[in-house]
């Protein structure tokens, strides 16, 4: 593999050679992670699909995020990201699922949850979970792009660990 290649290309090669599949559950990125994954030739062999859960109702109804999680921790939280990843993995029947939820701005931020805050979670075999918080700078599109980069890199790093 070429280490200077885009993370989605490297991830695609890693999933293909391992015979593994992936799905996504995205909020603030609006499907950008899935878009980038499906730009990789041959991705239909390892990308099963994704859910854009921009609204909390979709998080609850499709991804099985608990109402108590949303009320107690909010849509942008580690707990919600974890439940989104688990829900996507179960719903779409994949080996791995990545979720991302955050505040892309320019409004909506608070002192506790500023614009640029994202939470990502990765669910894998046996519901193994990794989660990570990031704060990105820039405008809305910059935050979405940086968040997608971080999510793809998180998965790749996990597979290569």
Residues 42-61: pLDDT tens digits?
999 999 999 999 999 999 99
Q: Encoding tokens for residue 71?
A: 């009320």
Rounded Cα–Cα distance for residues 47 and 37 (Å): 7
Per DSSP, 120 falls in state E
**Angle, helices 7-18/140-160, rounded to nearest 10 degrees:** 30
| Domain boundaries defined on the chain | 7-160
| pLDDT digits 0-9 by tens, 56-70 | 999 999 999 999 999
Residue closest to 104 by CA, chosen among 139, 69, 80: 139
In this prediction, residue 72 has a pLDDT band, given cuts at 50, 70 and 90, of: very high
Q: What is the mean pLDDT of the segment spanning 151-159?
A: 92
Per-residue pLDDT reduced to its tens digit, 116-154: 999 999 999 887 778 888 888 999 999 999 999 999 999
Q: Tell me the fold of 7-160.
A: Maf protein (3.90.950)
Q: What is the pLDDT of residue 2?
A: 56
Q: What is the pLDDT of residue 104?
A: 93
66-75: Cβ within 8 A, 24+ apart: 74/113, 75/27, 75/101
What phi and psi, each to the nearest 5 degrees, are found at residue 142?
Answer: -65, -45
Reported as a single tens digit per residue, the pLDDT across 99-110 is 999 999 999 999
Q: pTM higher than 0.75 for the full model? A: yes
């Amino acid at each position: 593999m070429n280490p200077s290649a885009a993370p989605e290309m490297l991830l695609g090669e890693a999933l293909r050679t391992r015979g593994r599949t992936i799905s996504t559950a995205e909020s603030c990125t609006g499907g950008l992670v899935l878009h980038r994954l499906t730009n990789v030739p041959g991705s239909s062999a390892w990308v099963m699909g994704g859910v854009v859960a921009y609204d909390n109702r979709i998080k609850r109804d499709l991804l099985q995020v608990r109402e108590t999680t949303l009320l107690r921790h909010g849509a942008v939280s580690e707990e919600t990201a974890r439940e989104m990843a688990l829900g996507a993995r179960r719903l779409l029947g994949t080996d791995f699922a990545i979720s991302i939820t955050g505040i892309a701005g320019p409004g909506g931020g608070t002192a506790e949850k500023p614009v640029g805050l994202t939470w990502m979670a990765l669910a894998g075999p046996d519901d193994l979970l990794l989660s990570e918080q990031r704060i990105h700078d820039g405008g809305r599109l910059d935050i979405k792009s940086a968040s997608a980069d971080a999510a793809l890199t998180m998965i790749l790093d996990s597979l290569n660990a």
